[in-house]
Chains A and B, each alone.
Chain A
Amino acid sequence: MKHSFVKEILRDFLKNKSRFFSIVAIVALGAGFFGGIKATSIDMKQSIDDYYKENNLMDVRVLSTLGLTDDDAALLSSLDGVKDVVGSYQYDAIVFPPNPEDAGESGEHVVRIRSITEGVNQSVLIEGRMPQANNEAVLVLNDSVPPSCEIGDTLTVNLQSDPDAEESLAQTSFLIVGYVKNPLYLSSLNNTTTKGSGKISSFLFVPAEAFSIEAYTEMYVTTDFSSTLFTFDEPYKTKIEALEDEIDAVSEEACNRRRDELIDEAQAELDKATAEYEDGKQTAERELADAQAKLDDARQELEDGKKEWQDGQDTFDREIAQGEQKLQDTRTLLDNTEQTLAQSKKKLDDTKAQLDEGKLQLEEGESALNAALEQWNASKAQLDAVYQSEKAANRLLTQAQAEYDRVMAESPEDEALVEQVTQALQFAQAGVSGYETLAESKETLDTQQKTLEEKRTELEQGTTQYEQGLAQYNQGLAQLEEGERQYAEGVNELAAQKASGQAKLDESLAQIQDGEQELSENKALFEEEKAETEQKLSDAYEELLDAKTQIADIQAPSWYTQTRATDTVLSGFEQDADRVDAVAAVFPVFFFLVAALVCLTTMTRMVEEQRTQIGVLKALSYTNGAIIAKYLIFAAVTTLIGCIVGLSIGFVVFPRVIWKAYSMMYTTPPIHTPFNWPLALLASAVFFAATMIASFAACYKELREVPAGLIRPKPPKNGKRVFLERVTFLWRHLSFTQKLTMRNILRDKKRFFMTLIGVAGCTALMLTGFGLKDSISGIVASQFDDLYHYDLNIALNHDYAPDEPTERQQQLFDLLEHSSDVSQTLTASQEQVTATSKNGETMNAYLFVPEDSNMAEDFITFRNRQTNESLSFPSSGALITEKMAKNLNLSVGDTISFQMSDGQTVSVPIEGITENYVYHYIYLSKEQYHELFSKDPSFRVVFVQTQEDADVNALTTELLTNQEILSVTQTDTMVETFTDMFDRLNLIIVVLILSASLLAFVVLYNLTNINITERLREIATIKVLGFFDKEVDIYVFRENMILSLLGMILGCGLGVLLHQFVVTVAEVDMVMFHRTIAFPSYIYAILLTLVFTLIVQVAMHPRLTHISMVESLKSVE
């Protein structure tokens, strides 16, 4: 090649810097994106494989339900391909939280303790040191979670919550001496346990000597081929499968041997225990009998005492009664005497009164008599004074009488004389009668005198009698008083006797009562002891029975093998890596397409600009080849530089970013990002091809012209009417600049498509990114909020028969029924089956049979996703989940056939297809199941709905104490797990969106750049015409905006398709992503694209203002 030609090419680079950079940028972006994402999957797998090889991860892990022994190890070692077999111990212990405040909600802290194994599953020390003593431990560090305890902390097993620990662990307290990473723990996802809160908070490695478990809990098998084969490749997987089959083949023998061993051991132990029990029982019975006899004696003694007391009491009572009677008699006598005395007294008193009255009367009579005597004497004296004596009076009278008679006879007519004589007579008569009266009075007085005398005598007699009576009375009174005194004495004496006797009796009664009290206490004590002993004995007996049944129940253990591939975490990891790869297959297509278009337009423009030069070169008889070579070299060099830059960055950035995203989920080793030559060559080749073809296509057209034509300025492209002008109504409403824009847009097809594809691609990528986020993050809410309505999922150890539950099951259901936290429960059967499509495709699914079909709808919503129409639980036929229906190409009315784990295959018509996102289910009614299999389904799952304010963690802990429960899964935990899993994809989405943005930027920048250089004259002209800067901007950019808008609309459509595709590719088999993109995502995608369009315009604005108007004066080149 000529010297000047080389120079010319070099100058081209300098002259076309912006062109150079656009191609470099788009190629770098495309190649970097493609290579980087493609390499990510490879790097991810490679790094993990390296990590496994470096630390010698086991190839197969053998677990047994009853532990493994050295015999098993020997057996495994003898298998083909096995290099080494190492036994290991594992125990989940409840420990005291190192920091009480972060003990977790339930306050329980469960750690998984594993023994350190030499030569296999080696830990990588990150900080501190490895354990040296048996009570030292290292903590497995998780990249995304801060360690739950620090180096120097001591974890102590809570023996109260975890009494089994003493049996399994020789050490119950561990000092954390270091942090490690271990290939066994690629993820902390699988951290459920049946203990405590059900969640493991830390993983420890301790020396094997810290365990006191008799058999290994698991065996790590390493192979001789794992160091040479790639873990994720088929050869390795095939070989491992073969090894698994071999292990399977020998497992039966080993398991039977293990069972026999265990039965022998247990039987010996049982025999010993039985003997011990019998001994104990005899001793206890003897002791009890002794105690009973003693009690009986005491009772007898007490009874005797009581009888004695009763006798004493009786005698006492009788004697007291007698005494009392006597006293009573005395009293009566005394009272009678007293009464008699009183009567006598009264009589005496009467007599005294009579006597006193008689005496008084007598004295009155005497004084009256004396007075009468005196009067008489006085009267006599008076008479005597008048009459002198009686005889004198009598003579007087006889004289007076005689005189009177004479007078009467003599002189009756002389009245005075008569009067005199009558008076004298009367006088005489009065004297005589006076004397007569005196005599009479004298007689009366004498009689009276005599009577008085008589009375006196009488009175004197009465007085004597009275005095005699009084003396008698006084004597009686004295006797009474004596009697009274004696009585009082008797009363006192009796009272004293009674008091002292009663006291004595009471005392003995109290003693008896005390005795009784003591006796009853002793008796109660005895009863208690007896009951206790009996309980103990019966417990012991039951235990023996249990042990017997347990021994009878000892089944041959089963072996489980886990390979690297069946490890859910690793297979999850592999799927993740494959998903990244699948995404890498689609996305870079856009970048590639756009890169080719950018290259085509850029080169075309370059060729067009240099048209004259080409003409000159051609005229100077340079060959077409040489001229094309110039452009091809330009394109090749730019592509090469772009590829080198892009791949160097892409190979490092993309794997690291995505690895970083995954390391939130996996405890990953550092990623190795080697420069992947095959990929680099592939990517470069593809981009070379694209740019070369584009450049060639650009040159070819020009080179067909003759030199003369080339030297002449290229006739400007004709203005053309566009279809829009036919729509005159619309066209008329456009301004000239708008019309111009329309015509410009449609004039250059290449640019039109480049912009459209670039912007559409950008929008589509962003929409896909946002849409993926919608699809993925939405399903958790859809599945666990909209479709599933339970909070706990309890797995049982044994089948549950509603009619005859086991005791523990009954306890469980009682607990659930009575718990205030639980609102309702549903028992169901959930068996793993293999469903088959018509053309033989298979997939794993769960056969779900609720115990009560009516209740199923309370726990799971069955509905059609598209129409939202709810489906009822089928009484006949099956309801299947959507993803399964789609994968197996089944629809309503078809029959689905599936194979049970025991090999039985059945077919059921499909009644409905229900919305579901996680796992696959076939729903059957109990009756249908019975019809198909002629047996009841094995109900082993209990779904629990809790009350609004229930403490689910506490409930879980409470439930886990029931040994019937295999596991309790909280829906919240599931939600967390899935959310975590899906969150990983967010960073990838960010990468996607960023790449898309870069793409948009490069395309739009490039386009605008070309647009401006191509229309330099036009822009200069309108500037001369007096367009302001802003008007110039609008004049130029409106085109971009419209194309961008068109691109966005197209991009939304494309994005929906791309999203559909990516969702199908990226979706894991067990999960169905949302198929629709949420509305805001469209907005985000469009807005972001718009923002980039605007950024480009802002960036381009200075270029427009700096266009010199002098350009307009230049001739067309």
Chain B
Amino acid sequence: MEPFITFKDVTKTYRMGEVDIHALSGVNFCVEKGEFAIVVGPSGAGKSTILNVLGGMDSCDGGTITVDGNLVSSYNRKQLTAYRRSDIGFVFQFYNLVQNLTALENVELASEICKDPLDAAKTLDMVGLSERKGNFPAQLSGGEQQRVAIARALAKNPKLLLCDEPTGALDYQTGKTILKLLQDTCRETGMTVIVITHNQAITGMADRVIEVKNGLVSSMHTNEHPVPVETLEW
């Protein structure tokens, strides 16, 4: 059976003035459905670019990207928008909540545009924010904001949850609970989750670890027995 996500010889070059920067120079990997995958690598290795092209925020220059049997790499602007709208849930490093909407409204902002969304309030319950639904982002702590962001991503009922350094702006403990939430979500809903991070320490909790270096996948391996988040230390 075809893997859920396949990257095949994916290249991406940014042109910065006179200089061409090869962000991806032939990336190959695959992720199975329902896996909790971590893309890890140092800054500038190309992991954000992988996220961009996988998330439909950018298109690649060469190679093919297949998601759930669809050739995403050949999508045009509009198809990419539709793809982001229905298939992708995004969790940002800096939460990117709309400051002028309450937690619930932020979730609804996303669910409102999907065909088959989850109930916004229930999603918030799920991420443990039942009590803070009516609060504005500024009234929430960083972890709570990230939970809202995760709820917003989940409410769309996407095929794929993409998380960009979800713990990057959080303290250790909060970061852990967020990772736990993500892992639990993956386990409980069977959703494919891809986390992008530079933190090697958390790779232990993933089903699959993809290491990126200099625009190439340097190694990819699966953990037969991923460890619970609580046991991770960094």
A residues adjacent to B (C-beta < 8 A): 715-720, 735-737, 739-740, 743-744, 747, 1017-1018, 1021-1029, 1031, 1109-1110, 1112-1116
Q: Does B137 lie within 8 Å of A719, measured CB to CB? A: yes
The residue that B102 contacts in the complex, of A719, A1023, A1026, A1031, with Cβ under 8 A, is A719
The residue that B48 contacts in the complex, of A715, A1017, A1113, with Cβ under 8 A, is A1113
Q: Does B100 lie within 8 Å of A1112, measured CB to CB? A: no
Given pairs A1021-B96, A1025-B109, A1114-B94, 6 additional interface contacts (CB within 8 A): A736-B109, A740-B100, A1022-B98, A1026-B86, A1113-B52, A1116-B94
Please measure, in the bound complex, the distance between the C-alpha atom of A744 and the C-alpha atom of B98, giving whole angstroms: 11
Q: Does A1024 lie within 8 Å of B90, measured CB to CB? A: yes
B141 lies within 8 A of chain A by Cβ: no
Q: Does A739 lie within 8 Å of B105, measured CB to CB? A: yes
Q: Of residues 92 to 135 in B, which have CB atoms within 8 Å of A's CB atoms?
A: 92-94, 96, 98-102, 105, 108-110, 112-114
Please measure, in the bound complex, the distance between the C-alpha atom of A1023 and the C-alpha atom of B81, giving whole angstroms: 8
B55 lies within 8 A of chain A by Cβ: yes
The residue that A739 contacts in the complex, of B51, B101, B110, with Cβ under 8 A, is B101
Given A719-B136, A1018-B98, A1026-B84, are A736 and B93 also a contact pair (CB < 8 Å)? no
Please measure, in the bound complex, the distance between the C-alpha atom of A1031 and the C-alpha atom of B81, giving whole angstroms: 11
Q: Does A1024 lie within 8 Å of B100, measured CB to CB? A: no
Q: Does A720 lie within 8 Å of B113, measured CB to CB? A: no
List A contacts of B144 (CB < 8 A).
Answer: none
B74-100 Cβ-contact flags toward A at 8 Å (1 or 0): 000010011111101010111010111
B139 lies within 8 A of chain A by Cβ: yes
List B contacts of A720 (CB < 8 A).
Answer: 100, 136
B57 lies within 8 A of chain A by Cβ: yes
Q: Does A747 lie within 8 Å of B100, measured CB to CB? A: yes
Please measure, in the bound complex, the distance between the C-alpha atom of A1027 and the C-alpha atom of B56, giving whole angstroms: 12
A417 smallest CB distance to B (angstroms): 213
B169 smallest CB distance to A (angstroms): 8
Q: Does A736 lie within 8 Å of B57, measured CB to CB? A: no
B227 lies within 8 A of chain A by Cβ: no
Q: Does B136 lie within 8 Å of A718, measured CB to CB? A: yes
B87 smallest CB distance to A (angstroms): 9
Q: Does A740 lie within 8 Å of B98, measured CB to CB? A: yes
The residue that A1026 contacts in the complex, of B58, B82, B96, with Cβ under 8 A, is B82
Q: Does A716 lie within 8 Å of B99, measured CB to CB? A: yes
8 residue pairs of the A-B complex, CB under 8 angstroms, read A716-B137, A719-B137, A737-B109, A1018-B99, A1024-B57, A1026-B156, A1112-B96, A1115-B93
| Chain A residue at smallest Cβ distance from B57 | A1109
List A contacts of B48 (CB < 8 A).
Answer: 1113
B164 lies within 8 A of chain A by Cβ: yes
Please measure, in the bound complex, the distance between the C-alpha atom of A804 and the C-alpha atom of B18, giving whole angstroms: 106
| Chain B residue at smallest Cβ distance from A1017 | B96
Please measure, in the bound complex, the distance between the C-alpha atom of A739 and the C-alpha atom of B134, giving whole angstroms: 14
List B contacts of A718 (CB < 8 A).
Answer: 99, 136, 138-139
List A contacts of B78 (CB < 8 A).
Answer: 1028
| Chain B residue at smallest Cβ distance from A1027 | B113
List B contacts of A736 (CB < 8 A).
Answer: 101, 105, 108-109, 112
Q: Does B113 lie within 8 Å of A1025, measured CB to CB? A: yes
Interface residues on B, range: 35 or more
The residue that B98 contacts in the complex, of A1021, A1023, A1028, with Cβ under 8 A, is A1021
List B contacts of A1017 (CB < 8 A).
Answer: 96
Q: Of residues 4 to 44 in B, which have CB atoms within 8 Å of A's CB atoms?
A: none
Q: Does A743 lie within 8 Å of B100, measured CB to CB? A: yes
Q: Does A1024 lie within 8 Å of B84, measured CB to CB? A: yes
B residues adjacent to A (C-beta < 8 A): 48, 51-52, 55, 57-58, 78, 81-86, 88, 90, 92-94, 96, 98-102, 105, 108-110, 112-114, 136-139, 152, 156, 164, 169
The residue that B99 contacts in the complex, of A719, A1025, A1026, with Cβ under 8 A, is A719
B91 smallest CB distance to A (angstroms): 11
Q: Does A1025 lie within 8 Å of B100, measured CB to CB? A: no
Q: Does B113 lie within 8 Å of A1026, measured CB to CB? A: yes
Q: Does B137 lie within 8 Å of A1109, measured CB to CB? A: no
A720 smallest CB distance to B (angstroms): 7
List A contacts of B156 (CB < 8 A).
Answer: 1025-1026
Task: Name the residue among B81, B83, B96 with the largest chain A CB count within 10 angstroms.
Answer: B96
| Chain B residue at smallest Cβ distance from A747 | B100
B123 smallest CB distance to A (angstroms): 14
Given A717-B99, A736-B109, are A1026 and B81 also a contact pair (CB < 8 Å)? yes
A170 smallest CB distance to B (angstroms): 89
Please measure, in the bound complex, the distance between the C-alpha atom of A1028 and the C-alpha atom of B82, giving whole angstroms: 8
List A contacts of B90 (CB < 8 A).
Answer: 1024-1025
The residue that A1021 contacts in the complex, of B92, B112, B136, B138, with Cβ under 8 A, is B92
Please measure, in the bound complex, the distance between the C-alpha atom of A208 and the C-alpha atom of B126, giving whole angstroms: 108
Please measure, in the bound complex, the distance between the C-alpha atom of A1029 and the C-alpha atom of B84, giving whole angstroms: 13
Q: What are the 4 tightest A-B residue pairs by CB atom distance, in nearest-first order?
A: A1026-B85, A719-B136, A743-B100, A1109-B57
A959 smallest CB distance to B (angstroms): 78
List A contacts of B137 (CB < 8 A).
Answer: 716, 719
List B contacts of A1113 (CB < 8 A).
Answer: 48, 51-52, 92-93, 164
Please measure, in the bound complex, the distance between the C-alpha atom of A737 and the C-alpha atom of B78, giving whole angstroms: 21
B93 smallest CB distance to A (angstroms): 7
B98 smallest CB distance to A (angstroms): 6
Task: Name the residue among B81, B105, B110 with the largest chain A CB count within 10 angstroms.
Answer: B81
List A contacts of B105 (CB < 8 A).
Answer: 736, 739-740
A925 smallest CB distance to B (angstroms): 73
| Chain A residue at smallest Cβ distance from B158 | A1026
B191 smallest CB distance to A (angstroms): 17
Task: Name the residue among A716, A719, A744, A1027 with the largest chain B CB count within 10 angstroms.
Answer: A719
B114 smallest CB distance to A (angstroms): 8
| Chain A residue at smallest Cβ distance from B52 | A1110
Q: Does B92 lie within 8 Å of A1112, measured CB to CB? A: yes
A992 smallest CB distance to B (angstroms): 38
Q: Does A1022 lie within 8 Å of B99, measured CB to CB? A: no
List B contacts of A1028 (CB < 8 A).
Answer: 78, 81, 85
List B contacts of A1031 (CB < 8 A).
Answer: 113
Task: Name the residue among B78, B85, B86 with the largest chain A CB count within 10 angstroms.
Answer: B85
List B contacts of A716 (CB < 8 A).
Answer: 99, 137-138
The residue that B58 contacts in the complex, of A737, A1029, A1109, with Cβ under 8 A, is A1109
| Chain B residue at smallest Cβ distance from A721 | B136
List B contacts of A735 (CB < 8 A).
Answer: 112
Q: Does B52 lie within 8 Å of A1022, measured CB to CB? A: no
Please measure, in the bound complex, the distance between the C-alpha atom of A809 and the C-alpha atom of B210, giving whole angstroms: 117
| Chain B residue at smallest Cβ distance from A1114 | B94
Please measure, in the bound complex, the distance between the C-alpha atom of A1021 and the C-alpha atom of B113, giving whole angstroms: 14
| Chain A residue at smallest Cβ distance from B105 | A736
Given A719-B99, A1110-B52, A1113-B48, are A1025 and B94 also a contact pair (CB < 8 Å)? no
| Chain B residue at smallest Cβ distance from A1116 | B94
Please measure, in the bound complex, the distance between the C-alpha atom of A162 and the C-alpha atom of B96, giving whole angstroms: 93
| Chain A residue at smallest Cβ distance from B106 | A736
List B contacts of A744 (CB < 8 A).
Answer: 100
List B contacts of A1024 (CB < 8 A).
Answer: 55, 57, 84, 90, 96
| Chain A residue at smallest Cβ distance from B136 | A719
A341 smallest CB distance to B (angstroms): 161
Please measure, in the bound complex, the distance between the C-alpha atom of A1031 and the C-alpha atom of B84, giving whole angstroms: 14
Please measure, in the bound complex, the distance between the C-alpha atom of A1042 and the C-alpha atom of B96, giving whole angstroms: 25
Please measure, in the bound complex, the distance between the C-alpha atom of A715 and the C-alpha atom of B142, giving whole angstroms: 12
List A contacts of B152 (CB < 8 A).
Answer: 1025
Please measure, in the bound complex, the distance between the C-alpha atom of A1112 and the C-alpha atom of B98, giving whole angstroms: 12
List B contacts of A1026 (CB < 8 A).
Answer: 81-86, 88, 113-114, 156
A1091 smallest CB distance to B (angstroms): 29
Task: Name the residue among B94, B100, B156, B169 with the largest chain A CB count within 10 angstroms.
Answer: B100
Please measure, in the bound complex, the distance between the C-alpha atom of A519 and the C-alpha atom of B83, giving whole angstroms: 130
Please measure, in the bound complex, the distance between the C-alpha atom of A1109 and the C-alpha atom of B48, giving whole angstroms: 12
Please measure, in the bound complex, the distance between the C-alpha atom of A1025 and the C-alpha atom of B152, giving whole angstroms: 9
A690 smallest CB distance to B (angstroms): 31
| Chain A residue at smallest Cβ distance from B169 | A1115
| Chain A residue at smallest Cβ distance from B87 | A1026
A31 smallest CB distance to B (angstroms): 37
